Amino acid sequence: MKALILLGNRMNDDGTLSAAMLERLALAEARYRKGDVDLIIVSGGLANPEAGVTEARAMKEALVARGIPEDVVAEEGDSLTTVQNARYSVPLARAKGVTEIVLCSSREHIERWYLNPVRLFKRAMRKAGYPVSALEVCTG
């Protein structure tokens, strides 16, 4: 089974989704509709308390509103950093029987040199017993 792990982005104070998050949601939706992934794991906690909702919950609601079946979207709503996105999402994927992971975020986020999400996910995957070759990256 192949899962797309969709990384969140700080929500606006009024609880609306940021432009970056909307772009990431479009990427995830497109991959699911193409049949490229079986599961979408939305990852992000309450990084902005003013928003009043976790990034994961907001992303799941947005995907379901776009017609993605609710049972296809799993929430990881505890992470507040990219390190935690990897630390919490990869074991969730393992528990759901996922064999391949597509890491999905914006290009600017994926290419950050100082805290590289790809490196962090590879580390978490090795720890969870995945081969690093099971990781694919998806950016807009």
pLDDT digits (tens, 9 = 90+) for 63-108: 999 999 999 999 999 999 999 999 999 999 999 999 999 999 988 8
**What is this structure's pTM?**
0.94
| Interstrand relation of 135-138 and 39-43 (parallel, antiparallel or unpaired) | unpaired
Q: First and final CA of the chain: distance in angstroms?
A: 23
Residue 134 has pLDDT above 80, yes or no: yes
pLDDT of residue 63: 98
Residue 50 tokens read as 């003013």
What dihedral angle (degrees, nearest 10) is formed by the CA atoms of 75, 91, 130, 57? 10
CATH code of 2-138, in short, is: 3.40.50.620
Give the residue among 90, 108, 106 at the shortest CA–CA distance from 8: 106
DSSP H/E element including 16: none
Residue 43 tokens read as 């990852």
pLDDT of residue 31: 96
9 HSE (CA, 13 A, CB side): 18
CA pair distance 59, 64, nearest whole angstrom: 9
**Residue found under tokens 């907001």:** 58
Q: Where are the domains of the chain?
A: 2-138
